[in-house]
Chains A and B, each alone.
Chain A
Amino acid sequence: MPGAADTALAPLPPRSERPRLLQPRVRRSIIPGFGLTLGLTVGWLSLIVFLPLAALALKAAGMGPAEFAHAALGGRAIAAYKVSFGAALVAALVNAVFGTLVAWVLVRYRFPGRRLVGAMVDLPFALPTAVAGIALTTLYAEHGLIGALLVPLGVKVAFTWLGITVALTFVGMPFVVRSIEPVLADLGHDVEEAAATLGANRLQTFNRVIFPAIFPALLTGFAMAFARGVGEYGSVIFIAGNMPYRTEIAPLLIVTQLEQYDYNGASAIAVVLLLASFAMLVVLNLYQAYIARRGGRGE
């Protein structure tokens, strides 16, 4: 039912002037192909995206509230949510700090190799997750380059909760950097110079001028990194250890239950993950709409 949500926001014009659902408003546009391209788009979207998602919704709806709650909120499932959401949150926070720093350095400073570094930031988008997973596991395992330094100090990363966080930091990093970069580049030096002229020191300039300007973009990047982390699978399962109740992420629990032919259990957990990420998406969109209305730098 596209259109309903759209038109509900504004007062409706008289019925005769209302565009009919999925009909062009400008009837006499000379550009052809509206029916063909929109039909293809909606048809394809329905087949590839809506139909399978509807299968999941029907499966969950068919379970009945008691069974659904039992499957979605059982002890092992709750433990898995805690691992997934907790590690994704910590990873997104780490990325918020270091991602902002990386974006700042890339936008504001000139140093040899800056363009190469800038291009490499997208590596986690381009590198298949399984490849990242086995590489990180090897690095942080007992005899790996980093593991060999940390394990004698009593810090175990591979096969612990910490390892999951490292993997999620890897996959989430570009979201934060790429969100903030264009805003920082747009910001210009004049506002900083104005602040400095008015007697602000560097810390004050950052806290009062720069940070408020990049905050909406930072929040967007943070939320995207967090959402990605909650659902992430490939880069995590190698380094996680996968111990039920301790280092088992929610997507892995879905796979485990599927392998045991427990389709209801898998579907219930999938619905919880989906609802969580849709909720984040809606909150983020509302926030961006609010920022845009206020005339801030929401984009």
Chain B
Amino acid sequence: MRRAIGQGSGGSTILIAIALGFLALMLALPLFTVFAEALDQGVGTSLEAIRQPDAIAAMKLTLLVAAIAVPANVVFGLAASWAITKFDFAGKSLLTSLIDLPLSVSPVVSGLIYVLLFGAQGWFGEWLGDRDIQIIFAVPGIVLATMFVTFPFVARELIPLMQGQGRDDEEAALSLGATGFQTFRRVTLPNIRWGLLYGVLLCNARAMGEFGAVSVVSGHIRGQTNTMPLHVEILYNEYDYVAAFSVAALLALLALVTLGLKTLLEWRYGHSSAGGGH
């Protein structure tokens, strides 16, 4: 890149130093703290902490929730982006903005609305109670709240991507005699695979890391309805800092892997970050 304002002057060095100082203070130091606190009493203690039955149960639950919420989100994201980008219909732009709605809802409110729906005092509470079905303070509630907060993640990656690719490829395949499903599998899916992977990555990170929404519907039963982030909270509040930070370090590793893969995808195929965009 050519020289711009301040390039090569003392000014640029100062600006770079301030920006890096801010990022070191705000990002690097907290990340460092997670691992430093986790390893405070040696690797052995940390490993033992994450081998506790309650920690293992929390990991299993987190994996289970993600294993349900992420594929569901992929199906929805593919359906929504197909409908929105391959057809013209009235109300399309409204539908597109409604899909993004959960992004502007506080996590706590995202949990609360499911309590109002399925809790003991909720609209369906009595009906569910009569049939002995528990959703709130049980795994189904955690899955539902996670699906709500991750709702737009795949669709909002795919819609702009498929909009840019247009409909010509699909129309060509169809006019050559391919069925709708063949067209989707052989033409559309290869075209969007990296964008889809990108959405899955972000969706998965949020599904595994969600705290507020899940906290409201979980009931915090150790070994049963505790996800990894909730287990971090319990351990921390019990002053078991090494254990809390050891489980937290696993989640931080997940975040770093997510960032690494995301950056790789961006370099490889030029997908611009849409995390903060719209």
Contact = CB atoms under 8 A, between A and B. Distances in A.
A254 B108 contact: yes
Given A130-B229, A234-B229, A263-B121, A170 B26 contact: yes
Contact of B104 (A21, A55, A227, A251): A227
A6 B251 CA distance: 43
A234 B130 CA distance: 34
A277 B6 contact: no
A261 B121 contact: yes
A5 interface: yes
A234 B205 contact: no
Interface in A199-253: 202, 205-206, 220-221, 224, 227, 230-234, 238, 251-252
**Majority secondary structure, A binding face:** helix
Contact of A134 (B107, B114, B236): B236
B142 interface: no
A102 interface: yes
B252 to A, nearest CB: 6
A222 B232 CA distance: 30
A19 B143 CA distance: 38
Interface stretch (B44-52, B169-177, B190-198): B169-177
A55 B117 contact: yes
Contact of B16 (A109, A230, A267): A109
A98 interface: yes
B222 to A, nearest CB: 16
A214 B75 CA distance: 37
A110 to B, nearest CB: 7
B16 A105 contact: yes
Nearest to B277: A178
Interface in B92-119: 92-95, 97-99, 101-102, 104-109, 112-117, 119
B165 interface: no
A160 to B, nearest CB: 18
A2 B90 contact: yes
Interface in A168-201: 169-170, 173-179, 182, 189, 192, 196
B144 A48 contact: yes
Given A38-B83, A52-B116, A127-B31, A101 B19 contact: yes
Contacts of B22: 98, 101-102
A31 B170 contact: yes
Contacts of B167: 31
Given A52-B113, A104-B15, A38 B89 contact: yes
Interface residues of B, number: 110
B155 to A, nearest CB: 8
A130 B248 contact: yes
A174 B275 CA distance: 8
Interface string A264-286: 00110010011001101100010
A128 B210 contact: yes
Q: In the complex, which of the residues A31, A36, A138 has the most CB atoms of chain B within 10 Å of its own CB atom?
A: A31
B19 A231 contact: no
A104 to B, nearest CB: 7
Nearest to A60: B116
B131 interface: no
B199 interface: no
B95 A55 contact: no
Given A22-B91, A134-B244, A231 B107 contact: yes
Nearest to B110: A52
B33 A48 contact: no
Interface string B1-23: 11011110001100110111011
Contacts of A278: 104
Contacts of A202: 5-6, 11
B116 A59 contact: yes
Interface string A112-147: 000101011111111111111011101100001110
Contacts of B55: none
Contact of A124 (B27, B90, B91, B183): B27
A130 B101 CA distance: 23
A106 B89 CA distance: 41
A252 B199 CA distance: 30
Contacts of A120: 23, 27-28, 259
A30 interface: yes
A170 B28 CA distance: 11
A123 B27 contact: yes
15 contacts: A29-B86, A30-B174, A37-B79, A49-B102, A56-B112, A105-B19, A109-B7, A129-B211, A135-B248, A145-B33, A170-B27, A220-B278, A221-B276, A231-B108, A270-B113
Interface of A: 2-7, 18-26, 29-34, 36-38, 40-42, 44-45, 48-49, 51-53, 55-56, 58-59, 98, 101-102, 104-106, 108-111, 115, 117, 119-132, 134-136, 138-139, 144-146, 169-170, 173-179, 182, 189, 192, 196, 202, 205-206, 220-221, 224, 227, 230-234, 238, 251-252, 254-255, 258, 261, 263, 266-267, 270, 273-274, 277-278, 280-281, 285
